[in-house]
Amino acid sequence: MEYEFCCPTLFGLEGIVGDELRHGGGLTDVRVENGRVFFSGDERTLIWANLWLRCAERVLIRVGEFPAHTFEELFEGVYELPWLDYIEKDCAFPVKGYSLNSDLHSIPDCQSIVKKAIVKSLSESYGINWFEETGARCQVQFSIMNNIATLYLDTSGAGLHKRGYRANANDAPLRETLAAAMVHLSRYRGRGEFLDPFCGSGTIPIEAAMIAMNRAPGLARSFDAEKWAFIDPELWRQGREQALDVMYRNRSYEICGSDIDPTCVKLAAENANKAGVSHTVHFETQDACKLRLNREGTLICNPPYGERMMDIVSARKLLRNFGTVASRSPMKQYIISSDEKFEEFFGVKADKKRKLYNGMLRCNLFMYYQTPDKRKPFRRTANTKNNTKKVQKNRNNHSNKRFEGHS
Ligand SMILES: C[S@@+](CC[C@H](N)C(=O)[O-])C[C@H]1O[C@@H](n2cnc3c(N)ncnc32)[C@H](O)[C@@H]1O
């Protein structure tokens, strides 16, 4: 059967997910929008996307779309969709969703209408009035945007960033999908030295190792659609087997993570073990400002930027000290930060910047790929000190209003 799929993504990662689908999945019918990517394919595509997409949040089947200005239109539109094709008699089918710029804005009411319409449709098909919902989970999602309702089924279950290796994290872990995107942007594919000198729970080196080894990020976890009756379990078995076949098991890599906190280093090593890459990555306790970065290679990190970890004054002091070491290094460097004055404190102007979101936090990925002699120093201005105090004050004022978390 042919399906239309939609992958929600973190803002800024849509194009990368489009690349993953085109180059990794060999798909041609890929459409990239703000925060989501659409594509089509069959059951094998569904399985491949769940097992292999590194930067998408989940894989949804688009069940249908229709205009919905009123609850009656919403009910009728949902009722007409082919639920029998997807939902078995004993399936659990919880409903969640959102509405933007639309006449229907009460989410609980929309949720209840969607559920009632699906129940009515399935009751007529199965000839029963009560659904136990004890079987496989088919999460229904709706979006109502500009009075157009779109209904989806979530094939992934837990978000794809949950690879199954990071039960434990430090105070400010990076989402796995974002870490993988940073590695993708650096073009590191397993050659040369790789270092994250602020590794925390090890997310960036672990994602780098999985990319280097061509290890499917979804290998160590399960997906809701694995229990769906309309997808042959043999296809899942084949998809997993193929993923194991294409993994590079015997190559050696120079991937290292370091952190000043020995607890983080221990945690990172445990996570690498769970991710199946412990033989590929090496972790050690080091102060990033005392590292000798004399060799060429790739450095990717998210140092504290005074948001969820450290205050802005300490974070900028750390950045200045680290910048002194890093700016002289021949390593290509990719550093994510929400600090708008990052370059000023790091001391060097970035060769390129790319806007990325760490949760709801607007950040930049500062990229340095020129040799040190071609890097342009960033001249500090006289009002730096005042500006730092102003930023800290603003952050304190806004700290309770902004969501910075990760799920
Ligand atoms: C934002 S966290 C990194 C999170 C990490 N990317 C992850 O996914 O878990 C920043 C890390 O920098 C570490 N750190 C702070 N000062 C440091 C220093 N001088 N040298 C090395 N690491 C440091 C902290 O211990 C913390 O683990």
Domains of the chain: 3-154 (3.30.2130.30), 176-216+250-398 (3.40.50.150)
Q: What is the per-residue pLDDT across 130-173, written as a single tens digit (0 to 9) for each?
A: 999 999 999 999 999 999 999 999 999 999 999 988 876 666 78
Q: How far is CA 331 from the centre of its chain?
A: 25
Distance 195 CA to ligand 1 centre (A): 13
Ligand 1, atom 13: nearest CA belongs to which residue? 198
Q: What is the best residue among 163, 168, 198, 301 to mutate for testing ligand 1's pocket, by most ligand atoms within 8 Å of CB?
A: 198
Cβ proximity of 201 and 170 under 8 Å: yes
Cβ proximity of 119 and 132 under 8 Å: no
User: What's the DSSP call for residue 9?
Assistant: B
Q: Is 306 in the pocket of ligand 1 (CB under 6 A)?
A: no
Q: Is 204 in the pocket of ligand 1 (CB under 6 A)?
A: yes
Cβ proximity of 154 and 7 under 8 Å: no
Q: What is the best residue among 259, 286, 293, 316 to mutate for testing ligand 1's pocket, by most ligand atoms within 8 Å of CB?
A: 259
User: What's the DSSP call for residue 139?
Assistant: E
Antiparallel, parallel or unpaired: β 30-33 and 36-41 = antiparallel
Q: Phi and psi (nearest 5°) for 289?
A: -80, -10
Which atom of ligand 1 has the smallest separation from the CA of 318?
A: 19
How far is Cα 265 from Cα 196, in angstroms, rounded to an integer? 12
Looking at per-residue pLDDT, the higher value among 259 and 250 belongs to: 259
Q: What is the best residue among 162, 165, 170 to mutate for testing ligand 1's pocket, by most ligand atoms within 8 Å of CB?
A: 170
User: Which pLDDT score, from 0 to 100, does residue 250 have?
Assistant: 86
How large is the average pLDDT for residues 89-98?
Answer: 97
Range 122-140 burial, b when 16+ CB lie within 10 A, else e: beeeeeeeebeeebbebbb
Place of tokens 């949720």: 111
Is the pLDDT score of 382 beyond 80? no
Q: What is the per-residue pLDDT across 339-350, written as a single tens digit (0 to 9) for each?
A: 999 999 999 999
